[in-house]
Amino acid sequence: MISGKKILVTGGAGFIGSHLCGKLLDLGNTVVCLDNFSTGKWENIQAFLSSPDFIVIEGDIRSLNVCRKAVEGIGYVLHEAALGSVPRSIKDPITTNEVNISGFLNVLLASRDAKVKRFIYAASSSTYGDSTLLPKVEDLIGKPLSPYAVTKYVNELYAGIFSKTYGMECIGLRYFNVFGQRQNPDGAYAAVIPLFVKKLIKREPPIINGGGEYSRDFTYIKNVVQMNLLALSVQNKDALNTVYNTAFGERTTLTQLVNYLKEYLGGYDPEIKNIEIVYGPNRAGDIPHSLASIEKARKLLGYNPEYSIKEGLREAVEWYWNNLK
């Protein structure tokens, strides 16, 4: 694994970014965290602030000057900064576009000019759009179903252009429904797992959009960290300048998910096991089913995910129980 390097993590105070910062520090790297703290939190990086190898730049990727400052002396970039959420992008497509496309391009351009060795970026399973093919294979995508999906696909196009035109090493990781410790349960655009957990801890019924049969390839944060480390360190040239599904490779319905959560949280509070699920209307822009093929990542990166959804949920639920009560 990579060590002794200077690495920039954009969005480093966010859910995924903070996990990447922690792991990279553990491996003996110097880590620069760039975040504007609009969705990232100081508490996510509190444990790293005393480290002399951890540098925080409070700034916005929509500023090219900020991006240029952040990449000074940087060897590798992990670009996690983005405005997530399909519903948020539908409500406010302009800001989503500014952050996810213009901001992305700023970081990419600054990285090119700073001669960064490798640029790893967070792509998204939303890029598969209206494709009904299961499992999802990297080269076969459909049309986007939301402004958010458009922005994440444009990221892939820009990365491809920069690799071909300027000789950059770029790898995109299409995240599939990442979950784990530090994922924010608050706000209008909270991810589904922490939202369900918060409801259940309060002994309130979780609300599932649709009939509960929509399914997702839920991916534990430690698998995502593993994929980023593999993308950073891979030496095989055939593995560069492409995109990879970042997932576990199994799908779980939303009803199954809530039942798992009820079971694991019920170990802390038996009353939770008796809570009934409430079903609501489908959300605009939602994809009915999502399942990743991880064969490409297995072959080219040596990826072998260590955590199933059940194993990940057990760890995550323990953290949520201790932090959300």
Convert the pLDDT of each residue in 276-320 to its tens digit: 999 988 877 677 888 999 999 999 999 999 999 999 999 999 999
Residue 302 tokens read as 């040596």
Instruction: Assess contact for 88 and 192: CB atoms under 8 A.
Output: no
Instruction: Write b or e for each residue in 37-50: b if 16 or more Cβ atoms lie within 10 A of its Cβ, otherwise e.
Output: eebbeeebbeebee
Q: Examine residue 273 and state whether it is found in any structural domain, yes or no.
A: no
> What was the pLDDT predicted at 56?
98
Q: Are strands 30-35 and 6-10 parallel, antiparallel or unpaired?
A: parallel
pTM recorded for the entire structure: 0.95
Instruction: Assess contact for 111 and 119: CB atoms under 8 A.
Output: yes
Domain count within the chain: 1
Q: What letter would DSSP give residue 188? A: T
Q: Examine residue 257 and state whether it is found in any structural domain, yes or no.
A: no
What average pLDDT does this structure show over 253-262?
96
Q: Examine residue 258 and state whether it is found in any structural domain, yes or no.
A: no
Q: Examine residue 48 and state whether it is found in any structural domain, yes or no.
A: yes
Residue 3 tokens read as 């060590």
Q: Examine residue 146 and state whether it is found in any structural domain, yes or no.
A: yes
pLDDT band at 100 (very low <50, low <70, confident <90, very high): very high
> What was the pLDDT predicted at 85?
87
Instruction: Report d(CA 287, CA 306) in Å as an integer.
Output: 26
CA 324 to chain centre: 21
The catalytic site residues sit at 148
> What was the pLDDT predicted at 251?
95
Instruction: Write b or e for each residue in 177-204: b if 16 or more Cβ atoms lie within 10 A of its Cβ, otherwise e.
Output: bbbbbbbbbeeebebbbbbbbbbbbeee
Instruction: Report d(CA 174, CA 170) in Å as an integer.
Output: 13
Domain range for residue 131?
Answer: 6-180+219-249+289-306
CATH of residue 167's domain is: 3.40.50.720
Helices (H), the chain: 15-26, 42-45, 64-70, 86-91, 93-97, 104-113, 147-166, 192-201, 221-233, 254-265, 295-301, 309-324
Supply the mean pLDDT for the chain: 95
Q: Examine residue 311 and state whether it is found in any structural domain, yes or no.
A: no
pLDDT band at 86 (very low <50, low <70, confident <90, very high): confident
pLDDT band at 101 (very low <50, low <70, confident <90, very high): very high
> What was the pLDDT predicted at 324?
83
